[in-house]
Amino acid sequence: MNRRAFLGSMAAAPMVLRRASAQTASRPPRPPNIVFILADDLGYGDVGCYGQQKIKTPNIDHLATEGMKFTDFYAGATVCAPSRCCLMTGYHGGHGRIRGNKAAKTPDERQRIALQSGDVTVAQVLKKAGYATGIFGKWGLGLEGTTGVPNQKGFDEWFGYLDQTQAHDYYPEYLWENEKKFPLHHQYSDDLFTERGVDFIKRQKGLPFFLYMAYTLPHANNELTRATGNGNQVPSDAPYSNEPWTQQNKNFAAMVGRLDDGVKALMEELRKNNLDRDTLVIFTSDNGPHKEGGNDPEFFKSSGPLRGIKRDLYDGGIREPMIARWPGRIQAGSVSHFVGASWDFMPTAAEMAGAAAPAGIDGISFAPTLFGKTQKQHEFLYWEFHERGFSQGVRMGDWKGVRPKAAGPVELYDLKTDIGEKNNVAAGHPAEVKRIESVMKASHVENSEWPVG
């Protein structure tokens, strides 16, 4: 559907006004601004509107009150870099350029594989459609001097971490501002991302814009964990200072709270600049909760009712909170059970902009779901993971298949009756197992950088 047809279908003007001015009627409304807020290692149960009891997230919860909450939306992978690759390109992990945090040949912790010139990102699609584009936070899809840096992948403005390992440190010596190093002096990185995002919104005049807020909160500082036992790095543990919790758990809760504060600042700036009703805001996370930094995901029930955490292909490692808000377009307080994944963002954003998504991608637009229309469904969702050996996951309707080891047996779960994936029913459903094995085989395209084994 082109922009004229799509946005025309959304127009709410009375028929008498349409007849009064043929010229006005033929001019489609302005396409929406798009603000995409991505948390890092935030679990399905880490926010209040998804059941969190101990950590307060009033601003994220308010997004759900004013928008649509998705119950069955998934990240592209169970770790950072491949998940972000799926989000930006519209491909699932079996087809993506970047399928792990580091390739098998990588000699150190720096991500060697970068997006190539032929890899098209959602920012490039939106920029071509007339959008101003900005990203603030963590990239993870190409280091300095490569074809994968944000400024070469469709972003007008970029400020943040290129390097996944540098992104562990919330007080880095420098960040990247476009393609130059920006020195810092003991400044908390995610606070700077919020400041940059707010400033970006403030400066937008006329053109629609795409703002990608790629926060690192609440990811742990792994190096600090090894040194001190507490890698949940935050300026203050308030408002949890007096809780009878471990210091690590206090810090983790404060990090989630700081993420929530960032959401508040961005939403206030949209309202202040009268952009609120012209903007689609999406909030989600890149993978499931971590057990790093010394915090305890069991204490917070970070995975909610789901099994597993980060680095698992059970739903706790990949199913995420996902909220979409656009006043006057998305029904407030609505809930969707659409089974989707982050690779669906590319075609959705393209449809919003009246642009064409790249041919052959794995994503489908969930715009019909947002607007209460009939939605095309995925035949299946597919994941693979290249650490600790090779594992695969498939969701097909209510069936979930997990192969924890290459060439090993497939476990089968009925998510309709067993959301926690506790009962492996593979022995009783050989036909379903065979179908899932077929999907696993067909969905993984061999790549020498990401060998199976």
CA proximity to 31, closest of 352, 370, 270: 352
Q: How far apart are CA 151 and CA 156, in angstroms?
A: 6
Q: What is the pLDDT, as a whole number, of residue 388?
A: 87
CA proximity to 134, closest of 210, 66, 208: 210
Compute CA 133 distance to the chain's CA centroid, rounded to the nearest angstrom: 17
Q: Is there a contact between 151 and 141 (Cβ–Cβ < 8 Å)?
A: no
Q: What count of Cα atoms within 13 Å lies in the side-chain half-sphere of residue 286?
A: 30
Element (H, E) at 160: strand 157-161
Cis before 239? omega within 30: yes
Residue 138 DSSP one-character state: E
- CATH 3.40.720.10 residue ranges of the chain are 32-377
The fold adopted by the segment(s) 383-443 is Arylsulfatase, C-terminal domain (3.30.1120)
Q: What are the pLDDT digits (tens) for 219-274?
A: 999 999 999 999 999 999 999 999 999 999 999 999 999 999 999 999 999 999 99
Intra-chain end-to-end CA distance of the chain, in Å? 42
Q: Is there a contact between 353 and 208 (Cβ–Cβ < 8 Å)?
A: yes
How many residues does this entry show for the chain? Answer: 453
Q: What is the pLDDT, as a whole number, of residue 105?
A: 61
Q: How far apart are CA 204 and CA 104, in angstroms?
A: 42
H helices within 97-238, ranges in order?
122-128, 189-203, 222-228
Query: What's the pTM?
Result: 0.93
Contacts of 180 (CB under 8 A, 6+ apart): none
Q: What count of Cα atoms within 13 Å lies in the side-chain half-sphere of residue 164?
A: 22
Q: What is the pLDDT, as a whole number, of residue 453?
A: 66
* Domain 32-377 homologous superfamily, CATH: Alkaline Phosphatase, subunit A (3.40.720.10)
Residues of the chain with pLDDT under 70: 1-29, 103-111, 453
- CATH 3.30.1120.10 residue ranges of the chain are 383-443
Q: Is there a contact between 54 and 295 (Cβ–Cβ < 8 Å)?
A: no
Compute CA 358 distance to the chain's CA centroid, rounded to the nearest angstrom: 20
Residue 276 DSSP one-character state: G
CA proximity to 395, closest of 314, 335, 320, 316: 314
